[in-house]
Structure 1
C-alpha cells in the first residue's frame, strides 16, 4: 500500500502509511483502535508473533535443556542449564557456541553464536504458556529477571542476543519482523498501559 501511494505521487499520513515488516505489523497499524486498553492488548498479541517463534522459545524452555531448530526439538548433544544458565561444568554453552554463527562445512546449516550465549532463567520459561500467562510474567519482576517495564523494553529492543533472532544463521527461520519493529511494539504496549489479553 505504501509503495503504491508513493508511486502515484500521493501524500497521505496516518494509518494509510502503516506497513508490515516480514510478517510483523508496525505500531501504525493499530492506530485505528480507539480504546487504549484494546489497542494495548492488540499490540501485545502482535508481540506474541515474535515471542512464540522458535528463535525465542528455544532459549526460554520449561526445563533445564534448551530446544533447537524450527521444530523445537531437544538440544543435541544433550546439555543442561547449569547453575548460571550458561551450561553445566564440562559442557558450557561456549564449548560449542562462539561469538558468531558458524556455517557447517557441509553447507547444510550452522552453529549459532553470540556473546553471551545462554538460556533465559527458568523463571522466565515461556514454552507451553498462553499469551495472558506470558504477559503477566513479563510484568512480574519475580518472573522476568527482576526487570521494570522500561528494562523489558530495553532488553527486547536493544539486547544483542534478542537481536540474534533475526540473524540466526543458515538453517533457521528468522523471527518475524525485526528488532526495531519489536521494540516499537513493546514501547507502544507499555505506553497504552501494558494490558494483557484475557484468559
Structure 2
C-alpha cells in the first residue's frame, strides 16, 4: 500500500515553500491486539487479545469493583460507573448446581433477576440479559469478589490472577490453574469461554452498547491457543 503523505508549509522570509513528506506506510501503522492475533495467532498475541476483551466494559462491568470501603458492586457504561439503584453483591443471584442445571437460592428480595431477564431489552437503555440451553438456569448474576478485573490491570497481572485458583474459582466450580491446566481448560475454556451465556452476551449486548472486540468465536479460539500453549503469561 502506498505511503501516507503529509503536506508541510514553511515560510522563509517572503517565500513560502510546500514540502511533501512521506510518513509511515499505512500497513506499518500499529494494529490493535485483536488484529495482531488474527494476523499472527500464537500464545502471546492470543493473551493480549484476551486481555483486551476482559478489560472491555462489556466484561469488566459485570466483574465489578471493590471500593475503598470494601463494597463490591457491578459497574455500567464505558466509564464503569456504579450500577444504578445502589446494586451490590447483596443483590446477587446465588446459584447452585443440580445435575446439569443451575438453580437459584431463594430469598433475595431485589436481585439481578428482578430486571435482567433471559434476553436483551429491545430499546436502548433497557436491562440486558442472556440465557442459553447450553447451560440451563445459568442466569444473569455477578461473579464473586475474588474475580474482579480492576481498572488498569496489566496483561501480566490478569494472567497470573486467572491462573491462581484462589482468584478464579467459586462455590460453583474449582477452575484449576497453572498447576492443573487440564481442569483449567475444562472450566475456563469449555465451560466459561465457550458456553457461558454471559460471556457470549459481550458480543451481542443489545441496543446502544458497544460489543467486545472481535467476535465470540475469535475469543474462544484465542483462549484455546493460549491454554494449549501452556498458558504463558506476558512479561508485563
- What residue is the counterpart of 1:110 in the other structure? 126
Structure 2 CA distance, aligned partners of 1:162 and 1:175? 10
Tell me how many residue pairs correspond in the alignment: 168
- What residue is the counterpart of 1:8 in the other structure? none
Structure 2 CA distance, aligned partners of 1:133 and 1:94? 32
8 A contact 1:23–1:176 mirrored in 2:
no
Query: Following TM superposition, where does structure 1 have runs of at least 4 consecutive aligned residues deviating by more than 6 angstroms?
Result: none
State whether structure 2 residue 184 is matched by structure 1 residue 149. yes
Root-mean-square deviation (CA), in Å? 2.4
Cα deviation, residue 103, structure 1:
2.9
Provide the TM-score with structure 2 as the length reference: 0.65
**Which structure would you say has the larger RCO, counting Cα contacts within 8 Å and 6 or more residues apart?**
1
* Rg comparison, structure with higher value: 2
More strand by share: 2
State whether structure 2 residue 98 is matched by structure 1 residue 90. no
Structure 2: which 5+ residue stretches go unaligned?
1-31, 67-71, 95-106, 132-138, 176-182
8 A contact 1:109–1:169 mirrored in 2:
no
Structure 1: which 5+ residue stretches go unaligned?
1-21, 32-38
8 A contact 2:93–2:108 mirrored in 1:
no
Provide the TM-score with structure 1 as the length reference: 0.76
8 A contact 2:37–2:45 mirrored in 1:
no
Which of 51, 66, 76 pairs up with 2:84?
A: 76
Structure 1 CA distance, aligned partners of 2:38 and 2:199? 23
| Residues 1-199 of structure 1: pairs in structure 2 closer than 5 A | 24-25=34-35, 29-31=39-41, 39-63=42-66, 64-82=72-90, 85-86=92-93, 89-104=108-123, 108-115=124-131, 116-128=139-151, 129-145=153-169, 146-147=174-175, 148-150=183-185, 151-154=187-190, 155-199=192-236
8 A contact 1:166–1:175 mirrored in 2:
yes
